Structure 1
Amino acid sequence: MSAAEPQYTPLQQRTIGGHNLIGGLSRVYHCNFYNSYLQMTVLLTQGMGEHQPERLLTDSITVLVQLLKQRGYTVADLLQEFAYCGFGLLQSIDDKTWITPRSHYSEAICIHGKPSKSCYFTTGYLQGLMDKMVVETECKMLGASMDQFVVQDKALQLENYLQRDFELRLDIPKRFAFTGCQQFNTSVDEDQIITQLQTLPLYGKNAPEGNGLIEAFGAVLTNHFADYYNRISYETYSALRQIGIPEEDSKEMFIQAGHICAFNTFGRIMSSPEWYQLIAPMCSSREDWLHAMVAVINVLGWGIYRIEKIVAEKEFIVRVYNSYEGIGYRRIYPPAADRNISFLAMGATLGLIHLLWKVDIRDKPSLTQEFYVQQFNNPNNSYSVEQTHAIAAGDDYDRLVISKFY
């Protein structure tokens, strides 16, 4: 740790500019459905050129764990944080053998495809913990009683990919501080929603008190590393483009992950007892539900979302200040030439509009995979999304325009 670098207190989360920081690294809440689909998307690139998706999924978290150790984290801190952030229980059997009796990536990840060893994240986390190569040797998905990992003798030499400085913006406009927003007439109190949600126990507990999972809103959540998502997404997108996959098709794979995230995470939040107890009483229209859900998003660490425009059933415009994708992109890469680059935000905002103006989540539909395919993801009564501004490309914020298909 350099003399200029501060000492970080493990598990001490602070929120700055819409980012939830632990150990100085941005953390974002995402559900098992998003984690599953995104990992599957990355793995689909196996055998494409020199791209190695399994190593990407593994080593991208190793670098971040090593960075935490440089900032003063101990092994005990990292084991506690693994559970606190919802990744499960990580325990050692001997000097070379580790197990996860409960694990997000073994129990909640196998939604698509056949069961297989899939704990790339856990493997990479252990690599950072031990500073050596680790392999997954047994998997609950394949019938083992628990996941098992073995530490190899081979040392690791990985480069920190967070090489660029890019600061969070702190002068974020207040709600409705845009031309034309004065017509928004809502009783939704964003500050109250944020205060209420911050009291919920959205963290996992280590053994023996807990199982290391965050089970809430009918899903299994993680308080994940934003830089991990950014690294695996943008490196995979770049690999797809390099082998000649059309730009639109390459982007759609990741936008779809955000769309699925909205359906499962936002849909379950807006169907939950917590929503109907704390938030729904503020809402009398679909527009109110939109305002309320944006308030919820502003607790997730994704940045600060601001509604710029609503023309019901026609057009919706959302700005995102300090979007975790935009900030993360600038900390890893030079400025982008492309503005349609915040894939999660694009898919999530599109999915949110679909939840309210395509299927109407207020009717409490059953959020099954069949319903997603038959209703939520068909072209009838659908919308499109375009990103006009991007932090990754040098703009002050991300700006997303969701428009009705005609």
Structure 2
Amino acid sequence: MTPSPEYRHGLTFINGLSHVYHCNHYNAHLQMSVLLGEGVEEGFDPRTLLKTAAADLTAWLRRRGNGNRELLAEFTYCGFGTFKQTGPQLITTPNSHYAQSTYAHGRPEKGCYFNAGFLQGLARRNVTETACRHEGAEIDTFEVGAALPEPAEPFIGDPALSTPPPRFEFDGCDVAVSPVDEDKIVSTVATLPLYGKPAAAQGDGLIPAFGVVLANHYADYYNRISYETYSRMVAAGVPREMAREAFVQCGHVCAFNTFGGIMESPEWYGLVQPMCNSVEDWVHGMVAVINVLGWGTWRVEKLVPGHELVIRIYNSYEGVGYRRLYPQADEKQLSFLALGAVRGLAHLFWKIDIRERPGLDENFYFSVFNSPEGYWQVEQTHAIAAGDDYDRIVTTR
């Protein structure tokens, strides 16, 4: 059975859970950032967190009537790849999203924790990755072990969603109306086949698009692994700014690879670029595309080319997700992905000029895009996590 996404106020739901598109580079960099939490607190194992966060979501879905067949179909539809039973207790992933990219702060290591956790939630047994492409294996292999107890419910609430205001029609907005047709962009991009196809349909369960490999991932997974690690880092004495930046940088990587890839793609030049007369229009066009990704509803509040960009986000998946997992926060700078992505959006236009189609690769990222020269500052002034009506991100140079 093919999952049926439901779209509400900037978020995408599948089987009751919020899903967001992210690329293989973001997922690999985020996983590396979580692993930085190793050793900050006695008894905290980030590798276990990466697995159990996935297992708990699978168990949550299973307890609501989804069988293994439906959940395996969802795994493939969301672009994570495919599983294959190769022995009584052995499972492989012939095609795997998490095998597409790796970021390592040390030597490469096994990296398909999400896949192992997803299987663990299905089987209700411990699942261990025994071979990984990132360590040179030909295929990722998982061994099913001892039975595990049923996990507790991972969530404390389900916050209500707000109705986002129309573009340019909210207090504080001082941006001139743009000729970019957001409704047309949203409706067109929403029809693209951004889902994984099973082998029965001549597919490999992956979503190659815009020069990256996407996954329609679980927002709750991202939020749990990020905030659990961040909170332990801070509790252990790591300065908040340093701990935060480890996760903000993931959004910066995402902007470079995903936003940049989109704006260099034939689809962009066929649909969006003809609407654009200025760099401001390119910003509005990219924000319109972002509003198809399940990240919430983005609105441009202020835009001074080369100097300042202010973005409001209604129903941000990070803010809504934080309140689903935790009580109201006493700090505001918690939408790590959005902080990095808004800074990255500014860098794409005014640190480099994506309109010149410079060609994006890892060397260009480190030597130019992420170099200290011309780096923009970014701050979050409003946060759904802290009780505000929206997230507000300000980036300046």
TM range (shorter): over 0.9
Distance 1:380 1:145 in 2: 41
Percent identity over the alignment is: 52
Which amino acid in structure 1 is aligned with residue 344 of structure 2?
G
2:96 maps to 1:106: no
2:197 maps to 1:201: no
Q: How does 1:5-404 map to 2 (within 5 A)?
A: 11-50=3-42, 51-109=44-102, 113-169=106-162, 171-179=163-171, 181=173, 183-208=175-200, 209-404=202-397
**CA offset at residue 18 of structure 1?**
0.6
Does the aligned pair in 2 maintain the 1:36–1:112 contact within 8 Å?
no
Contiguous gaps of at least 5 residues in structure 2: none
Distance 1:10 1:69 in 2: 16
Does the aligned pair in 2 maintain the 1:10–1:73 contact within 8 Å?
no
**CA offset at residue 95 of structure 1?**
4.0
Does the aligned pair in 2 maintain the 1:204–1:212 contact within 8 Å?
yes
**CA offset at residue 110 of structure 1?**
5.2
CA displacement 1:239-288 (0-9 Å, x = unmatched)? 11111111110111111111111011100000011111111111111100
Does the aligned pair in 2 maintain the 1:10–1:23 contact within 8 Å?
no
Q: CA RMSD in A?
A: 1.5
Partner of 1:5: none
Which amino acid in structure 2 is aligned with residue 203 of structure 1?
Y
Which amino acid in structure 1 is aligned with residue 13 of structure 2?
L
SS across alignment from 1:11: coil
CA displacement 1:80-130 (0-9 Å, x = unmatched)? 111111111112234422111111112333576533211100000000110
SS across alignment from 1:134: strand
Which amino acid in structure 2 is aligned with residue 155 of structure 1?
L
SS across alignment from 1:20: strand
SS across alignment from 1:365: coil
| Bigger shift: residues 92-101 or 266-275 | 92-101
Change (3 A) 1:95 1:391: same
Distance 1:35 1:183 in 2: 33
CA displacement 1:314-351 (0-9 Å, x = unmatched)? 22211000000000000100100001111101110110
Which amino acid in structure 2 is aligned with residue 41 of structure 1?
S
**CA offset at residue 199 of structure 1?**
1.1
Distance 2:115 2:367 in 1: 34
Aligned length, in residue pairs:
395
Distance 2:228 2:306 in 1: 36
Distance 1:12 1:185 in 2: 34
Distance 1:222 1:292 in 2: 22
Taking structure 1 as the reference length, what is the TM-score of the superposition? 0.94
Does the aligned pair in 2 maintain the 1:33–1:111 contact within 8 Å?
no
**CA offset at residue 134 of structure 1?**
0.7
**CA offset at residue 182 of structure 1?**
6.0
**CA offset at residue 382 of structure 1?**
2.7
Which amino acid in structure 2 is aligned with residue 129 of structure 1?
L
Does the aligned pair in 1 maintain the 2:59–2:151 contact within 8 Å?
no
CA displacement 1:349-376 (0-9 Å, x = unmatched)? 1100110121010011121222112221
Does the aligned pair in 2 maintain the 1:133–1:156 contact within 8 Å?
no
Which amino acid in structure 1 is aligned with residue 374 of structure 2?
N
Change (3 A) 1:400 1:97: same
SS across alignment from 2:180: coil
Does the aligned pair in 2 maintain the 1:255–1:347 contact within 8 Å?
yes
Taking structure 2 as the reference length, what is the TM-score of the superposition? 0.96
| Bigger shift: residues 256-265 or 309-318 | 309-318
